[in-house]
């Protein structure tokens, strides 16, 4: 990591500490906390193209159902903060840059195709390096809340923290979708080729719910696959078809290396689905809450080098969200 990148992440860490200190005890520990979206009197635009370093904040980006990416970040050293991005038929935010922070943003109603003829419209995607997604809410997308990378090109070092990714029945018809239809694929989806460097992602203190009975079969909150290394900590997953879908080597796309610790799952068909003989999976202190129909399922081969220790009964769902998975037990 060069000096400029190290300084960027030091600033982000300081900002995170300040946010946590000023948040107060009334705010939840898991998921988005405090205000998300625009402040008063935002600048309103249909699309936003970022080609220079800097801080871009308080934009209301209303795509008015254009079939284009709504926000494109093509410059290094960018902060996108306090924005609402909505109403598009393609991706909300694409990142093709280094050292980017997306913070306090609300992203919703990205709907491509129709419910029966599914097409991808993602919340945040692209080919980033050193990307932080913090305190954001993403919902009602016909693709994934976040996906890196649709083209399986190199990307690396993505941190996702204190975000809420969810879906559910649409309250009103929109962009060819009917009222009551539930858009979406997965909350998090990873893609990569084995011939590229292994991509790394950390996901912590996030809330993901509602990823089931949607547009695809075998729907999951986290669909972690291909040549990636993902660490998941302190997350709460509820009301999903599958909470963790973890996939091993499938050939040229490789297999995921995954570690999960201090997470909790509730009211879902499958807590952890392990596929394709996934290797070196580590699950430490997974809380199995109420309404889990099946805790673990292996498909197309048993996992190899698999460690699962410290399974426990977590606090009630509201407590886990409010105080955190481990603190909620005290």
For the stretch 37-76, pLDDT in tens is 999 999 999 999 999 999 999 999 999 999 999 999 999 9
Average pLDDT over residues 127-143: 98
Average pLDDT over residues 199-210: 98
Burial label, 27 (beta-carbon count in 10 A; 0-12, 13-18, 19+): middle
What is the model's pLDDT at position 24?
43
- As a whole number of angstroms, the distance between CA 160 and CA 100 comes to 12
Q: Is the pLDDT of residue 170 over 60?
A: yes
What is the model's pLDDT at position 14?
43
- As a whole number of angstroms, the distance between CA 281 and CA 208 comes to 21
Architecture of the structural domain at 3-40+93-329: 3 Solenoid (2.160)
What's the pLDDT tens digit per position in 56-65? 999 999 999 9
- Tracing tokens 């960018």 back to the chain, one arrives at 78
Q: In this structure, what token pair is assigned to residue 111?
A: 């709907």
Mean pLDDT, rounded, of the chain: 93
- Tracing tokens 């871009």 back to the chain, one arrives at 56
The answer to whether the CB of 255 falls within 8 A of the CB of 275 is no
Give domain limits for the chain: 3-40+93-329
The answer to whether the CB of 288 falls within 8 A of the CB of 313 is yes
What is the model's pLDDT at position 327?
82
């Amino acid at each position: 990591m060069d000096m400029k990148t190290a300084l960027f992440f030091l600033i982000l860490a300081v900002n995170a500490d300040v946010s946590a200190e000023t948040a107060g005890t009334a705010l939840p520990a898991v998921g988005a906390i405090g205000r998300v979206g625009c402040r008063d009197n935002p600048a309103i635009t249909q699309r936003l193209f970022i080609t220079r370093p800097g801080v871009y904040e308080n934009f209301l980006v209303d795509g008015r159902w254009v079939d284009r990416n709504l926000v494109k970040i093509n410059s290094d050293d960018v902060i996108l903060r306090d924005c609402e991005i909505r109403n598009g038929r393609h991706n909300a935010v694409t990142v093709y840059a280094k050292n980017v922070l997306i913070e306090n943003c609300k992203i919703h109603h990205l709907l491509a195709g129709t419910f029966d003829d599914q097409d991808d419209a993602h919340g945040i995607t692209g080919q980033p390096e050193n990307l932080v997604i913090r305190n954001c809410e993403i919902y009602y997308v016909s693709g994934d809340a976040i996906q890196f990378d649709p083209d399986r090109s190199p990307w690396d070092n993505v941190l996702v923290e204190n975000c809420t990714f969810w879906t559910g029945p649409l309250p009103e018809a929109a962009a060819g979708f009917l009222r009551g239809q539930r858009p979406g694929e997965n909350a998090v989806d990873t893609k990569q080729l084995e011939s590229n460097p292994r991509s790394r992602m950390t996901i912590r203190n996030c809330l993901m719910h509602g990823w089931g009975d949607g547009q695809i079969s075998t729907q999951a909150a986290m669909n972690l696959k291909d040549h990636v290394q993902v660490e998941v900590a302190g997350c709460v997953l509820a009301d999903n078809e599958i909470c963790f879908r973890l996939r091993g080597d499938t050939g040229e796309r490789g297999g995921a290396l995954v570690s999960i610790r201090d997470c909790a799952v509730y009211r879902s068909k499958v807590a952890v689905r392990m596929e394709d003989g996934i290797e070196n999976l580590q699950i430490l202190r997974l809380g199995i809450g109420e309404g889990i129909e099946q805790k673990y399922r292996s498909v197309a081969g048993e996992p190899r080098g698999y460690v699962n220790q410290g399974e426990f009964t977590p606090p009630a769902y509201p407590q886990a969200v409010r105080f955190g998975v481990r603190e909620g037990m005290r």
